[in-house]
Chain A
Amino acid sequence: MPGEIKGWDRNQMAARAAEELEDGMYVNLGIGIPTLVANYVGDKEITLQSENGMLGMGPFPYEGEEDPDLINAGKQTITELPKTSYFDSSMSFAMIRGGKIAAAILGAMEVAENGDLANWMIPGKLVKGMGGAMDLVAGVGRVIVVMDHTNKHGDSKLLKECTLPLTGKGVVDRIITNLGVLDVVEGGLKIVETAEGVTEDELRAATEATIVN
């Protein structure tokens, strides 16, 4: 049963994703597990971009110090840092589309072996919109996806082809799941490492996408 393989939990996936970040990088973190990545950057000097118009995002405010004029892209109250700068939305996406942001770490519903990403829409279900996801995956230097390897029925979310409407075509560079780390390469996905307690055979068995050696 694929459901029996556990591998990394949410925090371990976030910690593994944080290893992708290098000192000095400007980074955009998506909602969900990607947000947790900020807790694991350690001593590295990472500047977080929030696409609603801020570089140098700080932690949540102390109770009573919330400022309605200071929120992140998830509309949560946050704080600023000494290095913070603010700008308007067109400037924000100039730095995203213009390739100035080194990496984006995002969640996904499906990733295909050619790097196609689907994370914004399930036809027939409530559609909320793509927000800034399409701009991010089209523009940033490196797209790292953090996601569960399988859905709750145990079916692979790493597919030969996406079934859901795309967020971007051929945009994903690296996938971090609860079972391991895979890169999008010529011809399919390449296993970079497996999570603790997960064998390469188990990871292969849980993956629909072509695995290349």
Chain B
Amino acid sequence: MKKVYGSAAEALDGLLFDGMTIAAGGFGLCGIPELLIDAMVESGVKDLTIASNNCGVDGFGLGKLLDTKQIKKMMSSYVGENAEFMRQYLSGELELEFNPQGTLAERMRAAGAGIPGFYTKTGVGTVVAEGKETKVFGGEEYVLEEGIFADLSIVKAWKADTSGNCVFRKTARNFNPPAAMCGKVCVMEVEEIVQPGELDPDHIHLPGIFVHRIIKGEHEKRIEQRTTRKREDV
């Protein structure tokens, strides 16, 4: 079966429907599936529930899907960088479910690993645990969190071979592997597609079994906080 598609729109063909749940990789603007997000904007699909650590910034990343009001609900850990997000949230147009960052990642990983729920000590005694089942293990209280089973995963990797084996680059890995795992279908965009055998099998970060469709493209890779230091004069 051929996994490589010619464009983001082709790769998403037949996969999108209103009201669907999508897991997206990325942390801030680092390692986000820019091209697939653009194609989703073009598609007009709406009432989306999106599980993603953040929601982009105004006019970039998932922020683009906010501008077009295609998102119904976000499941995130931090959303502070986006004025339009706050406007829609405060006016009641957008639902928001805060998840501790590690809980969000594990909810994706767990679903992808066939585990519908798990106990964690994160959030015990806080609003996060309200209304959730708790259980004591070894004298300590834990809260039950559920896996996120998404209809679609949209992720970004650095390089993939044509069978979907892939590697990520530096901290652009972040949520991409767990997000890739938890969707019924995973579409991945990469900077380079290589032939099977060109990636060392021992160095694969995510095996191709989790990746169903692949596209290659140019990425803007916008930097959110450019911080530098001065060169010391020697």
Contact = CB atoms under 8 A, between A and B. Distances in A.
B70 interface: no
A124 to B, nearest CB: 11
Q: Which of B53, B169, B227, B229 has the most CB of A within 10 A?
A: B227
A60 B77 contact: no
24 contacts: A50-B171, A61-B227, A62-B229, A63-B228, A66-B226, A68-B29, A71-B225, A75-B28, A75-B81, A77-B226, A78-B227, A86-B170, A86-B173, A87-B173, A90-B106, A90-B178, A97-B102, A130-B77, A130-B128, A131-B77, A131-B100, A134-B103, A165-B126, A166-B126
Interface residues of B, number: 56
Nearest to B141: A169
A61 B123 CA distance: 35
Contact of A71 (B28, B104, B121, B230): B28
Given A66-B223, A87-B173, A131-B77, A93 B27 contact: no
Contacts of B88: none
Given A77-B223, A128-B80, A90 B109 contact: yes
Interface in B77-98: 77-81, 86, 98
Contacts of A92: 102, 105
A194 to B, nearest CB: 31
B193 to A, nearest CB: 18
A66 to B, nearest CB: 6
B77 A77 contact: no
Contacts of A126: 80, 86
B125 A86 contact: no
Interface string B52-75: 010000000000000000000000
B174 interface: yes
A132 B227 contact: no
Interface of B is mostly: loop
B103 A135 contact: yes
Contacts of A51: 101-102
Interface string A151-192: 000000000000001111110000000000000000000000
A143 to B, nearest CB: 13
B171 A54 contact: yes
B86 A135 contact: no
A132 B100 contact: yes
A168 B126 contact: yes
A23 B231 CA distance: 28
A208 interface: no
A197 B8 CA distance: 64
Nearest to B86: A126
Interface in B129-153: none
Contact of A93 (B30, B31, B105, B205): B105
Nearest to B219: A68
A138 B205 CA distance: 28
